[in-house]
Amino acid sequence: MTVRDHFLKKAWYAAALSSEIEGTALFPRKILGTSVLIYRLEDGTAVAVHDRCPHRFAPLSLGKRIGDEVACPYHALRFNAQGQCTHNPHGSGHIPQAAKVASFPIVERYGFLWIWMDETEPDLSLLPDYSPLENGPDTAIGWTYMNLPVNYELIIDNVMDLSHIDHVHGEIITTRGKLSPIVPQIRETDKTVSARWEWSQQPAMMIFASFLPQPDAEARQYFDITWSAPANIQLTVAATQEPVGFANAVDQYDLHTCTPADEFNTHYFFATRRNHVENDAEYNAQKIAGMHAAFEDEDGPLVKAVQDEMGSADFFSLNPVLMSNDVAPVKVRKLLDKMIREERIASANAPTTK
């Protein structure tokens, strides 16, 4: 049994950070196995089209911008943002009916460009609300991006079982062995899986300790995470030294989101907004660099080693020994699998649209 081409199609995937698509650049990225060209119109609107000229299959991203259009680098067929060929310099200049490329709806929110890879009408209600990322100054939010040579579900597994922080991560976000003994509370809807850990540790995680009244003293903390299809995990983490509740806690509101380049390569995006030292641009830069390093240097090598061991085998086919800490990631795998299967059945039964 092998890893299937296991992608939900009717969904919003993070195609890029907003900051990755600058000026007039033609930005190529492989998404769900498809070459995609992302760029911004002159008014700043981000657009995406199939990065493959229908003539001789050259990547349009190697071509030239002509206003809001792109000319193929090979024979200069020109396409607009809707994917329609607008200019053919050859012969009579007649534009063949088939001279078009797929265009993919893009929505820009929360510092990300979200892409709809399916051929059906995009459904904006399927993009979760991460508006808390937008509440606050620019110096209190950071974004980062990594490319990992692993199947995306291994990254979801990683984040859905935060007990790994006890064992994998260093001082910056250490949980000092406190998470593993906890059986996290699970909450479910038909479209989401959530988990919550609450604990005390002394001192608090390094990212929070110095912003608490008594940096060296014990603090109460929680993690609360919610997975939404296809590969988004919203994570809130907080610390307080008040006896009850987290109303005045030092916290951060994060989004982890994964986009498969293909079955064995994943674009891993991360955003984090904090509610403290909100106006310190230098701290802000250090903070996101530290978080990036934790993923790249601590999670990354492990998840890659797991991928190497698994090869192309399906996770469940290897008979994993599952424990109390696996409830949330397993529920996500099963719910995502169910959504994918249902989508395929629906798609097989649907009247052809193209």
List residues near a second copy by CB under 8 A: 35, 52, 54-59, 62, 71-76, 88-94, 96, 98-99, 157, 161, 163-164, 166-168, 177, 180-183, 301-302, 305-306, 309-310, 318-326
CB of residue 344 vs a second copy: minimum separation in angstroms? 23
Please, what is the minimum distance in Å from the beta carbon of residue 333 to a second copy? 12
Give whichever of 143 and 223 is closer to a second copy, judged by the CB atom: 223
What are the φ and ψ backbone dihedral angles of 165, each rounded to 5 degrees?
Answer: -60, -35
CB contact at 8 A, 294 and 173: yes
Q: How far is the CB of 77 from a second copy (least distance, A)?
A: 8
- As a whole number of angstroms, the distance between CA 144 and CA 200 comes to 29
Query: By C-alpha distance, which of 106, 36, 24, 19 is closest to 65?
Result: 24
Give the CA distances from residue 260 to residues 14, 59, 76, 121, 303, in Å, rounded to whole numbers and listed in that order. 10, 20, 30, 21, 15
For every residue of 268-325, DSSP letters joined together read EEEEEEESSSTT-HHHHHHHHHHHHHIIIIIIHHHHHHHHHHHTTB-TGGG-----GG
Report the nearest approach of a second copy to the CB of residue 189 (Å): 24
- Residue 47 or 150 having the CB closest to a second copy: 150
**Closer residue to a second copy, CB minimum distance, 43 or 309:** 309
In DSSP notation, 107-174 reads EEETTEEEEE-SSSPP-GGGS---GGGGSS-GGGEEEEEEEESS-HHHHHHHHH-GGGHHHH--GGG-
193 within 8 A of 160, measured Cβ to Cβ = yes
CB of 251 to a second copy, least distance (A): 25
Q: Provide, rounded to whole angstroms, the least separation between the CB of residue 52 and a second copy.
A: 5
